[in-house]
Amino acid sequence: MQQQYGQERQKLYDDIRPQHLTPLWEVLHALVPPQPMTPCVPAFWRYRDIRPYLMAAGKLITAEEAVRRVLILENPALPGRSAITQSLYAGLQLILPGEVAPSHRHVQSALRFVIDGKGAYTTVAGERTTMHPGDFIITPSWTWHDHGNEGIDGVSEPVVWLDGLDIPMVRFFDAGFAENDAVGKSQPVSRPEGSSHARFGANMAPVRHDRKGLASPIFSYPYSRTREALHTLAREQDIDAWEGVKLKYINPATGGWAIPTLATFMQFLPKGFAGKRSRSTDGTVYCVTEGAGIAHVGNERFSFGPQDIFVVPSWAPLSFEAHQDVVMFSYSDRPVHEALGILREEFLD
């Protein structure tokens, strides 16, 4: 009897397949698992190993020809997907002295986190900012932006930054558009550098501010200010047993996330820190700014130093050891998890 039912069941499956139907009961446990089951794996990129490839690319293709000269950081479990997690993109972009990466805009929101060199600039919506290591810079959705490298204080050197975008997320919704600037390689500068900070960076805002879009009206967050805040708090308050001292970048006009689809953070771990384990549903990309230590991600152990990058997949247990004072930047898809009510996190140990 059981064999007969098995044969009839298989016949049912064969009959419904041409109708583009499939039985839920055969896949239910995979669709609704008892806990997150991401295909992504923990991965680590040591910057000193990657940098020679970036410089080689700089000799083979110009910034203008490439539009954006970037080496994508692909999750080893997602080859060919141009993704570091199923919702996040990461890449290392190089711009050499004298180059301009031409102006364009796109639906995808982007962040830049400068990791190497100085003298480059980014122009966003008519305002230019000089880029320094540790600076966090926003390119809001559908906003004109271009990059260049004119040197600074007589110094001209290659500049590299981490690009973080919500490309896989936008791709999931089939909502991606892009447009190249027909006017020229560089957009006209219409506001002096520091204008957005003058308007919004002192816990104040213009009285007649007409809020447009969901991203922060401040598009450049200098590392000098962030670092000072972290070290001041580390001296004045207890160190969290899981995260050390961790701050999130916010939109000063709303108090919300600086980018509506990407959460961005900077954290400080004092020398000797031995953190407890935690895990959360938002996959996270880390980039080390200062110091050295160890990240325990799932069953992996990553020994990190300045400029190194690693990814923590959804629900992978994470803990840190700090052999020196450590400062790390990170970004994740947490705002979307929060908006959808699906964020879960656990503090273990």
Distances (CA, A) of 281 to 29, 79, 85: 18, 22, 12
Using pLDDT thresholds of 50, 70 and 90, give the confidence band for residue 207. confident
Taking alpha carbons only, the member of 85, 62, 63, 59 closest to residue 72 is 85
175's CB contacts (< 8 A; 6+ apart) are: 107
Two tokens, residue 324: 């020196």
Q: How far apart are the first and last CA of the chain?
A: 51
List, in sequence order, every residue forming a beta bridge with 220; answer none if it has no partner: 137
Enumerate the domain spans of the chain: 43-347
Amino acid at 326: V
Q: In this structure, are residues 122 and 235 in contact, taking their beta carbons and an 8 Å threshold? A: no
Residues whose CB falls within 8 Å of the CB of residue 52, separated by 6 or more in sequence, listed in order: none
Q: Which two tokens stand for residue 62?
A: 């110009």
Nearest Cα to Cα of residue 300 among 316, 315, 288: 316
d(CA 324, CA 182): 49
Locate 336 and state its tokens.
């979307």
Instruction: Output the pLDDT for position 89.
Output: 98
Phi, psi of 103 (to 5 degrees): -70, 135
Whole-number average pLDDT of the chain? 94
Is pLDDT of 155 > 80?
no
**Residue 274 binned pLDDT confidence (cut-offs 50, 70, 90):** very high
Condensed to tens digits (0 to 9), the pLDDT of residues 95-137 reads: 999 999 999 999 999 999 999 999 999 999 999 999 999 999 9
* Res. 213: pLDDT tops 60: yes
Instruction: Please tell me the class of the 43-347 domain.
Output: mainly beta
Quick one: average pLDDT of 179-183? 83
pLDDT for 1: 56
Count of Cβ atoms closer than 10 Å to residue 63 Cβ: 22
Beta pairing class for 120-124 and 110-116: unpaired
| pLDDT for residue 279 | 98
Mean pLDDT of 44-57: 98
pLDDT tens string 313-342: 999 999 999 999 999 999 999 999 999 999
203: left (phi over 0), alpha (psi -120 to 50) or beta: left
The model's pLDDT over 214-228, given as tens digits with 9 standing for 90+, comes to: 999 999 999 999 999
pLDDT digits (tens, 9 = 90+) for 292-308: 999 999 999 999 999 99
Q: Dihedral, CA atoms, 312, 318, 319, 323, nearest 10 degrees?
A: -20
The rounded distance, in Å, linking the Cα atoms of 219 and 124 is 8
pLDDT at 287 over 90: yes
pLDDT of the residue at 208 = 81
The confidence score (pLDDT) of residue 3 equals 67
Is pLDDT at 145 greater than 60 in this prediction? yes
Cα 290 to its chain centre, rounded Å, is: 18
Position of tokens 């000799």? 59
- Mean local confidence (pLDDT), 242-260: 96
Scored b (16 or more CB within 10 A) or e, 137-176 reads: bbbbbebbbbbbbeebeeebebbbbbbbbbbbbbbeeeee
Give residue for tokens 């999931």: 172
